[in-house]
Structure 1
């Protein structure tokens, strides 16, 4: 997966917007923030750790907020780059979870991959095509064919 030089700045901008008081309710990181704390910003800082570039990470992975379309951009880059060549949803999730985190990440990746037209065209079909069922002839005698 290739990462452009502009990506850390985009992540920082999205995280800054998501931490604003008017957006914090929408950005309820999987129910960990607003419902469980009287002071959501204080609770957020306990879970999200700052990096040297200013972005916040959760357990060593960059947190991608729902604000903006950053999640879609990163899924697009990691799925259609010339180095990854359209991985399936499981492989793509395993690659992306090393670097990024957002709520419902695995389901979002599975949905994204299932909507990829190239993947659906190329995907091998593992079932035999079903046709009309034909009743075999029953012989009148044991060894009669």
Structure 2
């Protein structure tokens, strides 16, 4: 397996990463239109260059509490198969090359590991990798 790139971002106190292959863009938080009867972590939809994209609060989705929006808050626009989804994160940090040997599998330590693809250990940082496919699957049910 060769190097791959991730977009690293902050949720609360932790750093997370998504495979850059699924990241379309990173946007400032804009006008989000609420959707009736949506789960609490679904913040609504927003219009991005003519496309209406559902937006979820990733912290809420992962049961990490509610996001506090600041001027650093960003929406990571992701696309998996034909589904676009906006993920609200506290802030994005950087794009990082990850070597396979820097990856460590998450042992089944009793938490819901469906969403987590492992931990990247890079320059003293621990970055929890999220599986977008699993997050999306949960959204479309």
TM range, normalised to the smaller chain? under 0.3
Q: Which has the larger radius of gyration?
A: 1
> TM-score if structure 1 supplies the norm length?
0.24
- Write 1 or 2 for the structure with the bigger share of helix: 1
Identify which of structures 1 and 2 has the higher relative contact order when contacts are C-alpha pairs closer than 8 Å and 6+ apart: 2
- Write 1 or 2 for the structure with the bigger share of strand: 2
> TM-score if structure 2 supplies the norm length?
0.24
